[in-house]
Chain A
Amino acid sequence: QSALTQPRSVSGSPGQSVTISCIGTSSDVGAYNYVSWYQQHPGKAPKLLIYDVTKRPPGVPDRFSGSKSGNTASLTISGLQAEDEADYYCSSSAAAYTRVFGTGTEVTVL
């Protein structure tokens, strides 16, 4: 159950798009269409942004989108806004009803 690999940080200017990758294996990301993404602001609990690879819960702006190809999932934030500055984590189902989170990515809005 090794953590999924994410870039430590990404940055972009307001209005730009950024993409965060989440690299797993054929035993987790590659095996299940149950990748989710979470946003976490400092000192706060995580917030669900994307579930089942591409779906958004009610209330999540459509600026956030998810995708997956093989063992790699991605989160794209379009039209970056100041309030998007936060940490982002991917998560995937894994074998035997377990889950695994990604290492986390800090998004900075320049």
Chain B
Amino acid sequence: EVQLVETGGGLIQPGGSLRLSCVASGFAVSSNYLTWVRQAPGKGLEWLTVIYSAGDSYYADSVKGRFTISRDISKNMVYVEMNSLRVEDTAVYYCARGYIFSHDAFDLWGQGTLVTVSS
């Protein structure tokens, strides 16, 4: 089955670090571009970061310098390392796959993992 499954969410104190994982099934992360998007409770979607098949990555200004996207091709996984977490980083975090027929659209999404930043 073609799917994405995120793990790693939980409760973390402000200033802490967390790494989220996203395992891909049914396709190779090395051949696709993948992204992380988050959604704060009751709020809209916010794009965070993307990693392309060549390995280059880009970030939203809101997380640049704090978040790092990476991948492990051997495990077919994508990660986002989140540092210096703030209360406003509380959200459901989704990973999504880039649609092969578009430069910029995401056709496969995980179920999301909830990150709560609170003391």
**What is the bound-complex CA distance between A51 and B102, given in angstroms?**
7
B58 near A97 with CB under 8 A, answer yes
B47 near A98 with CB under 8 A, answer yes
With A45-B112, A46-B94, A97-B58 already in contact, the answer to whether A34 and B99 are too (CB < 8 A) is: no
Chain A proximity of B88: nearest CB distance (Å): 15
Chain B proximity of A50: nearest CB distance (Å): 8
**What is the bound-complex CA distance between A100 and B50, given in angstroms?**
12
**0/1 per residue, B75-101, Cβ < 8 Å to A?**
000000000000000000010100101
Instruction: Please name the residue on chain A nearest to B103 by beta carbon.
Output: A34
**B50 / chain A contacts, CB cutoff of 8 Å:** 97, 99
Number of B residues with CB within 8 Å of any CB on chain A? 27
Chain A proximity of B2: nearest CB distance (Å): 13
Instruction: Please name the residue on chain B nearest to A94 by beta carbon.
Output: B47
**B112 / chain A contacts, CB cutoff of 8 Å:** 45
**0/1 per residue, A89-103, Cβ < 8 Å to B?**
101110011111111
Chain A proximity of B103: nearest CB distance (Å): 5
B45 near A46 with CB under 8 A, answer yes
With A97-B50, A97-B58, A99-B50 already in contact, the answer to whether A48 and B45 are too (CB < 8 A) is: no
**A103 / chain B contacts, CB cutoff of 8 Å:** 44
**What is the bound-complex CA distance between A52 and B100, given in angstroms?**
12
B60 near A98 with CB under 8 A, answer yes
B45 near A38 with CB under 8 A, answer yes
Chain B proximity of A37: nearest CB distance (Å): 9
- 12 A-B residue pairs with Cβ-Cβ distance under 8 Å, sorted by A, are A3-B46, A36-B102, A36-B104, A45-B94, A46-B109, A51-B101, A52-B105, A55-B102, A92-B104, A96-B58, A99-B50, A104-B45
